[in-house]
Amino acid sequence: MNKLLKTTSVVALTFAFVGEAAATEWNVSVWGKRRAFTEHVEKLAELVSEKTGGEFTMNVSYGGLSKNRENLDGISIGAFEMAQFCAGYHPDKNRVVTVLELPFLGVSNLEEEVAVSRAVYAHPAATEEMAQWNAKLLMTSPMPQYNIVGTGEPRDTLEKMQGMRVRATGGLGAAFEAAGAVPTSVTATEAYQAMESGVVDTVAFAQHAHLSFGTINQADWWTANLNPGTVNCPVVVNIDAYESLSDAEREALDSSIPEALDHYLANYGELLKKWDSVLEEKGVQKVEIDQSVIDEFRAKAADPAREAWIADMEAQGIPGQELYDLVIKTLADTRGS
């Protein structure tokens, strides 16, 4: 009887270890704090856990795993399984997706941003480039057009932007530079301090980031309609980790992406509805830029930036013209449907 009990205990213990080993746990590296920008990541983790009965879980870490500029590097070495990054932080590492950061592309809402991002992410050039970092593009983090906050007199003409020190990365930085400003690419988490200390005069962010990183609390004014462009911030997974998932786990992950993005869009929509009341509450002036100034800005920034980007990409063996045309065609198709 004792021998039987011991055998039974060993078998039970073995099954317990097998069950424990079968569970999949991913670490996810983001930064800042939970906010509109990370809601699709949080929703994805929730859905995957639900669909797998808790056998596939994701631990979302806000800065505890890596610095935001180093998330792609962390993915490449398998330091964590999933991460979010912004293309403008290291455009040399993710050249293909920077087409989505060109100024004045004409993207008018978050749904269009999702559509153009999805099209570019699916392009073979994007897949190939990300594979060099052992990364698979999973989904975008769609953001509305950036606008700037600043102190003192509003910078509502190109003349007033001359010499303006602005926190703006990637294509946005290039656009402001074309207008005579001096861009700096401090990270989102450094923007408040840069503004407070006078390192920058103005900060270009989407609405959620002005709230989350406190720059709205430093501001006297906000440009409501400058809309020079936005940044592109993919969520990626480590290829080895993705391929090691069981079929059921992979299905749970892939099938949850549309719902996670729908949740993100709905949540961000609520934030945008409240934005005017946020400005009023904080005493921030809403500045409407004259259309002639916007047209002048576009003429200085859009065409030269596009042509320079295409030429640079083509020289590196990346189909720049094809990628740009894909964005424009996707916009037209999305509006047509």
Extract the tokens encoding 103.
């100024």
Chain segment 28-77, per-residue pLDDT in tens: 999 999 999 999 999 999 999 999 999 999 999 999 999 999 999 999 99
The answer to the question of residue 81 being in a domain is yes
Question: Could you read off the pLDDT of 209-245 as tens digits, one per residue?
Answer: 999 999 999 999 999 999 999 999 999 999 999 999 9
Give the per-residue pLDDT at 317: 98
Q: How far apart, in whole angstroms, are the C-alpha atoms of residue 135 and residue 152?
A: 43
Q: Domain of 315?
A: 147-230+283-336
Q: Over the chain, what is the mean pLDDT?
A: 93
One domain, residues 213 and 288: yes
pTM of the model: 0.86
Of residues 62, 52, 58, 47, the one with CA closest to residue 81: 58
What is the pLDDT confidence band of residue 13, given thresholds at 50, 70 and 90?
very low
CATH number at residue 226: 3.40.190.170
Same domain, 108 and 59: yes
Q: Is the pLDDT of residue 6 over 70?
A: no
Do 246 and 303 have their domain in common?
no
Q: Please give the average per-residue pLDDT across 98-103, as a whole number.
A: 95
DSSP alpha helix (H) spans, the chain: 2-22, 39-51, 71-76, 110-121, 124-131, 158-161, 170-178, 191-197, 207-212, 239-243, 247-282, 291-315, 320-336
Per-position b or e across 239-252, b if 16+ CB within 10 A of its CB: bebbeebeeebeeb
Residue 330: inside a domain:
yes
Query: In this predicted structure, what is the pLDDT of residue 3?
Result: 53
pLDDT of 196 above 90: yes
Asked whether residue 5 is assigned to any structural domain, the reply reads: no
Residues 185 and 135 in one domain: no
- pLDDT for the residue numbered 224: 95
> What's the average model confidence in pLDDT over 150-175?
93
Helices 110-121 and 320-336 pack at an angle, to 10 degrees, of 140
Question: Percentage of the chain with pLDDT > 90?
Answer: 88
